[in-house]
A and B are shown apart, each in its own frame.
Chain A
């Protein structure tokens, strides 16, 4: 490290960390000193593609792959996987680029539906930061949306399939071209998406990642980026964070900062706080994620052709409403991977929808310290009855929702093991009795400590979290500096 103390010590180089840094740097003086401690290393996109082609690359062994990340936690229910990527850019290296906003009602679940809690900030507070995030990510999206929007998307929408067009005609702004960070047109150093449908590593570099973001954060001369540094604890003294403890190449090291921000994922952010002795009763509690399953819809004499990306559309027909008092909202994703129907003359007379359900934070699902200071222990009792009832309701009603299509039959797969969205261990709240951080993502007790990312989500919603957690980082940094 170049300095004894820093104005800001950031843990991680994820979406949450990078968007926070972007806003912080825009407001900080030219003399500001920022240290970024990244646990992993840069694995460039071109090298990742080489690896997928079966070619050798020296970068492949620098970070644990997604199988090996399972060994970085002590998972008490290993049959339930928690999917994430370690390394520079965090999960931007494996996300699929789906960027719907939350709905305004998602922020008021307790007031409107009597479940979960209300967020201490509302949709209107976040709206300008949604717009800013969409600009930075060059999001492609439609003209009309089910959520209020004060500006057009930066990129034109992706193309529907024939099936999507019928659903859009029937449901208008409840069935839209998916807002996505998979570029519709080449821009900002990215190519246009061409529906290769292997988005975790895009073969043509069409999806926004921290590496291809052109945000200038890590090139900023005020920022010192250190690789291979795993932060595991903090020094807490009289409601202030003094130091960050980390291990690098087997050595125990520390760094001092006026302000500290945790930008690791929801499991590791909570673990760092617990290792440091944070006594907030909610820290680590309420771990969860959404649940998704695929519905295969067999069609009579209707071919499903012509989409321009992996997820062409989002359907909101089972999302918001009074049913959320009893069971979970569902967001539909219309898929465009090369699935077929193995029947003569009916090869593509089929549609595939991913049905994604929200869940409620449950204290039985939690992160705790383990005997290994580097490994969080993860306890997961499973999805709540609220989510499971949402699935059952959808199965009963999907044929009605699709009544504008010539449906022959619908088959449902078992739920996926993971949606790769880890949520809710450091939830945002109006008071410390109900959560860990305030609406600016500042810890209720340690007032120079930001805890970023989707761990702060008060409730989960069925919408993909990345756009919202990135907008929250911009909001927090803008309001705090």
Chain B
């Protein structure tokens, strides 16, 4: 084991050990979820107030266990490539915005519209022929 790996491992161990004592006390679910989204999509112009509204709306109906998990993942600096929970959170955020309706244009500001729910807003699948009709021939 070289020194760099040793430091990484011991650092990770220390972070894990410190989680319950320190981070959890000062990190709310809202802060954690917001942080995970901003971190993952740092190259997009996100509407911050919209992100905050999303994480509040998203928390409704989620279990305490889920909210705790999000806090833990944030403190562990997780990401969508490492965690299905983070991937799902970020995906559901994007589906709740106008990003896909704007045809995935990464230069446009991303605005929160409301949680993606086909029962409240049917026909909103942003990849369907409703949004990408066949080209006239």
Contact = CB atoms under 8 A, between A and B. Distances in A.
A198 B43 contact: no
A306 interface: yes
A347 B95 CA distance: 12
Nearest to B117: A53
Interface in B2-31: none
A80 interface: no
A347 B100 contact: yes
Nearest to B60: A54
Interface string B105-125: 010000000001111101111
Contact of A348 (B90, B104, B133, B134): B104
B19 to A, nearest CB: 25
A345 B125 contact: no
A195 B91 contact: no
Contacts of B36: none
A197 B118 contact: yes
Question: What is the predominant secondary structure among interface residues of chain B facing chain A?
Answer: loop
Contacts, number: 75
Contacts of A308: 128-130
Interface in A415-448: none
Given A53-B119, A340-B94, A342-B80, A194 B128 contact: yes
Contacts of A347: 100, 104
Interface residues of A, number: 27
Contacts of B52: none
A52 interface: yes
A337 B123 CA distance: 11
Interface in A290-312: 304-308
Contact of B127 (A53, A203, A305): A305
B40 to A, nearest CB: 8
B81 interface: yes
A62 to B, nearest CB: 20
B129 A307 contact: yes
A49 interface: yes
Contact of A195 (B90, B123, B133): B123
B4 to A, nearest CB: 28
B118 to A, nearest CB: 4
Contacts of A49: 119
Given A194-B125, A307-B128, A345 B134 contact: no
Which among A53, A161, A306, A307 has the highest number of chain B CB atoms within 10 Å? A306
Given A194-B130, A337-B125, A338-B126, A52 B91 contact: no
B132 A305 contact: yes
A342 B130 contact: no
A198 B123 CA distance: 10
Contacts of A196: 118, 122-125
Interface string A339-350: 010101101100
A203 B119 contact: yes
A13 interface: no
Given A306-B128, A336-B128, A348-B127, A342 B119 contact: no
A115 interface: no
Contact of A338 (B40, B127, B133): B127
B98 interface: no
A277 B64 CA distance: 51
A348 B101 CA distance: 13
A159 B123 contact: no
Contact of A342 (B90, B106, B123, B129): B90
A19 to B, nearest CB: 29
Nearest to B95: A338
Contacts of B106: 344-345
Contacts of A159: 129, 134
A312 to B, nearest CB: 9
A195 B132 CA distance: 12
A203 B122 contact: yes
A52 B117 CA distance: 10
A20 B86 CA distance: 49
A225 interface: no
Nearest to B130: A194
Nearest to A199: B118
A159 B131 CA distance: 13
Contact of A306 (B104, B119, B132): B132
A197 B123 CA distance: 9
A195 B129 contact: yes
B104 A52 contact: no
Interface of A: 49, 52-53, 159, 161, 194-198, 201, 203-204, 304-308, 336-338, 340, 342, 344-345, 347-348
Shortest 3 CB-CB distances between A and B: which pairs?
Answer: A195-B128, A194-B123, A203-B122
15 contacts: A194-B123, A195-B125, A197-B118, A197-B125, A203-B118, A204-B122, A305-B127, A306-B127, A306-B133, A307-B128, A307-B129, A308-B128, A338-B95, A342-B80, A342-B87
Given A306-B132, A340-B100, 17 more contacts: A49-B119, A195-B123, A195-B129, A196-B118, A196-B122, A196-B123, A198-B118, A204-B123, A306-B133, A306-B134, A307-B128, A308-B130, A336-B128, A338-B116, A340-B94, A342-B40, A348-B104
